Amino acid sequence: MKIKHQLAIFNALTRLLVILILWLTLPILVENVIYRHINNSLFEKKKKFIDHLNQNEINDFIENSNDSTDTYSQFSTLHSEFLVLSKVSSKSHQKKTTFSNDYRVIEGEQNEYRILQHHFTYGNEDYQLEIGSSLSEIKDLTFIIRFFILIVFGVILLITFLADTFFIEYLLKPFYKIIDTKIRRVNQPEAFDHTPINAKSRDFRELDLVLNQMMDRIAELFKKEKQFISNVSHELLTPISLLKNKLENLLQNNSLDDNAFDKIASSLKTLDMLKKIINNLLLISRIENNQYSTDEDIHFYEIITDMQEDLQDRIEDREITFSNIMEHDFSFKGNKTLVHILIYNLITNAIKYNKEGGRITVADGFSDGAYLISIEDSGIGMDPSQIEKIFNRFTRINSDQDGQGLGLAIADSIASLHHIEIKVTSINLEGTKFTLLFPKTEKA
């Protein structure tokens, strides 16, 4: 998940939490304030009532009312308030004034009321006074407040979420630009773009600066390695050249005895091997140092046909049936010389590790839209532990072979330079199949 999404989600979640807390606590706070307010007004009413009270009035209240009880009650028309005075038996332990929420039925209608209960003694009688104020309006009010809060907060949440997302996106823009132009598209240090990225945040300007510096160092290293490769090839190959030419001249000397002659010849062979190892290692270094351009058009059908012709004598010598059943004229941008070496190494291996009278089949096709070429032989094959090692430098399948085990290491380097994947499947004693999988972007 990208950082902008993570930040946006985190922001949204924390905001949601705050809103949830507010949504839950705010009505309680409001209720508290309202209750206090009601309590005060009830208390005022009680005070007024008690202050004006005398025995006659009490008697009036109680006597005028229903005779069956010692109660007087009075209520407003919409039942929003009521007052009840009743005679009770002595309950001196009760608190004088209490507030509570309770339901009362007034004229057959049940409502919740905030009720003040007051006990007092007048004459020798104990009385209880109840004054109530309806809560239904208050309940409605809190509901409206909650609803309102919900909508306002929802809108706030949405707006801040969008604002966050866009702002984060805006802030991170230079970051993606750096990744894209400075890192992803740069295969070679020479291709690096040193123009500073225009970023508002200092962090990204710093990142850009550090990247530029890093790339400069890498470019320097690349240049040094290039220089080194060039020096090594010159410094190693010149003495080899000298030795080789000296020995060649020596070989023409007629006074040599057989022993000396053989020794010189075998020294020449060793020198040749040394030369090839150096050249191959240099080749790998150069490939990995990106010293080859990869913008030539390569037509595989042509390459394979030419190669078959070139290797015809070897193929015939081992009585191998070589069939090229390629159907597509696939072209590819790459380095012609290197791709030639890649395929050459695979085909010569297929010849070398084949049986007398075996076969080699070169085929092509598409798999998931990606072009592939397969080179299959009916040779000695390999077991899985051998397959793992074949692309390592200086690996040979068995020690009695000649060669240095660089052919497939080179093939591997060339393939990765061209983003070609090499797949190997092999059955011991039955044959091996090398498949070259080309990157999908190329069109047939």
Partner 1 sequence: MNILIVEDTKELAAEVNDFLCNTGYVCKSVHNCEDALEEVASNDYDAMLLDLGLPDGDGFEVLKAVRKTKSKMAVIVITARGELDDRINGLHLGADDYLTKPFALTELSARLFAVIRRMHGFTMNDLLIHGFSLQLQDYRVSYSDIAVNLTKKEFDIFQYLVLNKNRVITRLQLTEHIWGDILEVNSDSNFIDVHVRNLRKKLDKHTDIGWFETVRNVGYRINE
Q: Which is nearer to partner 1, 384 or 403 (CB)?
A: 403
Q: Which is nearer to partner 1, 25 or 241 (CB)?
A: 241
Secondary structure class of 249 (helix, strand, coil): helix
Written as six digits, the tokens of 312 are: 């015809």
- The answer to the question of residue 46 lying near partner 1 (CB under 8 A) is no
Which is nearest to 434 in space by CA: 358, 370, 350, 353? 350
Angle between helices 300-310 and 336-352 (to 10 degrees): 50
Q: Which is nearer to partner 1, 5 or 223 (CB)?
A: 223
Give me the least distance between CB of 426 and partner 1, in Å please: 19
Q: Nearest 5°: phi and psi at 405?
A: 70, 40
Q: Of 155-194, which residues contact partner 1 (CB under 8 A)?
A: none
- The answer to the question of residue 386 lying near partner 1 (CB under 8 A) is no
- The answer to the question of residue 305 lying near partner 1 (CB under 8 A) is no
Of 46, 286, 304, 320, the one binding partner 1 (CB under 8 A) is 286
CA dist 140 and 137 (Å) reads 5
Please count the helices (runs of H) and the strands (runs of E) in the chain.
Answer: 10, 12
Q: Where do we find the tokens 């307010």?
A: 37
Which is nearest to 398 in space by CA: 332, 331, 353? 353
Of 234, 255, 297, 398, the one binding partner 1 (CB under 8 A) is 234
Q: Residue 358: CB partners within 8 Å, gap ≥ 6?
A: 318, 320, 321, 377, 378, 379, 431
Give me the least distance between CB of 419 and partner 1, in Å please: 21
Which H helix or E strand runs over 72? strand 71-75
Of 237, 303, 363, 370, the one binding partner 1 (CB under 8 A) is 237
Q: Which stretch binds partner 1 (CB under 8 A): 28-36, 65-73, 176-184, 244-252?
A: 244-252
Q: Which is nearer to partner 1, 115 or 283 (CB)?
A: 283
- The answer to the question of residue 14 lying near partner 1 (CB under 8 A) is no
Give me the least distance between CB of 431 and partner 1, in Å please: 20
- The answer to the question of residue 137 lying near partner 1 (CB under 8 A) is no
Give me the least distance between CB of 349 and partner 1, in Å please: 9
User: Do residues 194 and 212 make contact, with C-beta atoms less than 8 angstroms apart?
Assistant: yes
Q: Which is nearer to partner 1, 134 or 345 (CB)?
A: 345
* Residues 336-375 as x/- pattern, contact with partner 1 by CB under 8 A: -x---x--xx--x---x-----------------------
Q: Which is nearer to partner 1, 76 or 227 (CB)?
A: 227
Strands (E), 188-342: 296-299, 321-324, 331-334
Strands (E), 335-420: 359-367, 370-377
Gyration radius of the chain over CA positions? 49
User: Which residues are registered as beta bridge partners of 374?
Assistant: 363, 435
Give me the least distance between CB of 228 and partner 1, in Å please: 12
User: Which residues are registered as beta bridge partners of 378?
Assistant: none
Give me the least distance between CB of 313 and partner 1, in Å please: 7
Written as six digits, the tokens of 394 are: 């200086």
- The answer to the question of residue 295 lying near partner 1 (CB under 8 A) is no
Written as six digits, the tokens of 356 are: 């007398």
* Residues 192-231 as x/- pattern, contact with partner 1 by CB under 8 A: --------------------------------------x-
- The answer to the question of residue 321 lying near partner 1 (CB under 8 A) is no
User: Do residues 358 and 378 make contact, with C-beta atoms less than 8 angstroms apart?
Assistant: yes
β-pair type (296-299, 331-334): antiparallel
Q: Which is nearer to partner 1, 7 or 271 (CB)?
A: 271
What's the length of the chain? Answer: 444
- The answer to the question of residue 306 lying near partner 1 (CB under 8 A) is no
Residues of the shown chain interacting with partner 1 in the complex, contacts defined by CB under 8 A? 230, 233-234, 237-238, 240-246, 248-249, 251-252, 258, 261-262, 265, 268-269, 271-273, 275-277, 279-280, 282-283, 286, 291-292, 310, 313-314, 317, 337, 341, 344-345, 348, 352, 401-407, 410
